Chain A
Amino acid sequence: AQKVTQAQTEISVVEKEDVTLDCVYETRDTTYYLFWYKQPPSGELVFLIRRNSFDEQNEISGRYSWNFQKSTSSFNFTITASQVVDSAVYFCALSGSSNTGKLIFGQGTTLQVKP
């Protein structure tokens, strides 16, 4: 069975602090894909990143960075110098080897960035 666990339900930080959102996954597939989505207060789901299981390189995009470690089945997301606009619910998701997008979502982490 596939499962995604986001143990942090809510995180509150002050603007400019760095924050890491944890994601741990379970799958028996050898080929799989991991995702992060952002859901701002307006409600839409915004794609942030997709990573396949053969690519363990860390990724950086502006203030965002992702750390993928197969050894610990983790795909953590760090926001550097957080801003109020980063306040949202963040979801980690997993898709198995079919790559058709049957996403298994974690429960989400609500991030509040205070000014």
Chain B
Amino acid sequence: DAGVIQSPRHEVTEMGQEVTLRCKPISGHDYLFWYRQTMMRGLELLIYFNNNVPIDDSGMPEDRFSAKMPNASFSTLKIQPSEPRDSAVYFCASSLAGEANYGYTFGSGTRLTVV
């Protein structure tokens, strides 16, 4: 299995621009998570989906952030308009409910820089 695939790996954009981060979870996994990592706040959960349905978006910082999962193999996290304080590493992770001894698999992350 190729693991969780995120694109792009790096994104540099200007303030005010729209940014879209993409994630392909592991085939068969029914949970998908978006996390953000910053020096100040560490790793924090933004939103997660179960069977493509958003379950908890309480971590989404503002209305500028939105996430979708149109099907079981694809999710996007969009920031519009982007601001310098959105600069962070964004991780996507997927898991299979009920697994006994398996960790949650993270993608390699997207490093976003907003200038």
Residue in chain B with minimal CB distance to A51: B101
Contact residues in A for B93 (Cβ distance below 8 Å):
45, 101
Q: How far is the CB of B10 from chain A (nearest CB, A)?
A: 11
Residue in chain B with minimal CB distance to A35: B103
Is A31 among interface residues, defined by CB-CB distance under 8 A?
no
Contact residues in A for B33 (Cβ distance below 8 Å):
101-103
Whether the pair B43, A91 counts as a contact (CB closer than 8 A) is yes
Known: A47-B103, A47-B104, A50-B102. 14 other contacts (CB 8 A): A35-B104, A37-B103, A43-B89, A43-B108, A44-B107, A45-B93, A45-B106, A47-B106, A50-B101, A99-B97, A100-B55, A101-B93, A102-B33, A108-B43
Residue in chain A with minimal CB distance to B56: A102
Taking CB atoms and an 8 Å cut-off, the chain B residues in 29-47 that contact chain A are 31, 33, 35, 42-45
Contact residues in B for A48 (Cβ distance below 8 Å):
103
With contacts A100-B31, A107-B42 known, is A44 near B106, CB below 8 A? yes
- Measured CB to CB, the residues of A under 8 A from B are 35, 37, 43-45, 47-50, 91, 99-103, 105-108
Can you list 5 A-B pairs with a CB-CB distance of less than 8 A?
Answer: A47-B105, A50-B103, A100-B95, A101-B33, A107-B42
Whether the pair A100, B102 counts as a contact (CB closer than 8 A) is no
Whether the pair A103, B104 counts as a contact (CB closer than 8 A) is yes
Q: Count residues of B near A (Cβ-Cβ below 8 Å).
A: 27
Choose among A45, A99, A102 the residue that contacts B91 (Cβ–Cβ < 8 A). Answer: A45
Q: How far is the CA of A91 from the CA of B104 in the complex (A)?
A: 13
Q: How far is the CA of A41 from the CA of B103 in the complex (A)?
A: 21
Q: How far is the CB of A64 from chain B (nearest CB, A)?
A: 14
Contact residues in B for A102 (Cβ distance below 8 Å):
33, 45, 48, 56
Taking CB atoms and an 8 Å cut-off, the chain B residues in 5-64 that contact chain A are 31, 33, 35, 42-45, 48, 50, 55-56
Is B111 among interface residues, defined by CB-CB distance under 8 A?
yes
Choose among B44, B50, B101, B106 the residue that contacts A100 (Cβ–Cβ < 8 A). Answer: B50
Whether the pair B109, A44 counts as a contact (CB closer than 8 A) is yes
Q: How far is the CA of A101 from the CA of B35 in the complex (A)?
A: 12
Residue in chain A with minimal CB distance to B98: A99
Choose among A49, A99, A101, A105 the residue that contacts B43 (Cβ–Cβ < 8 A). Answer: A105
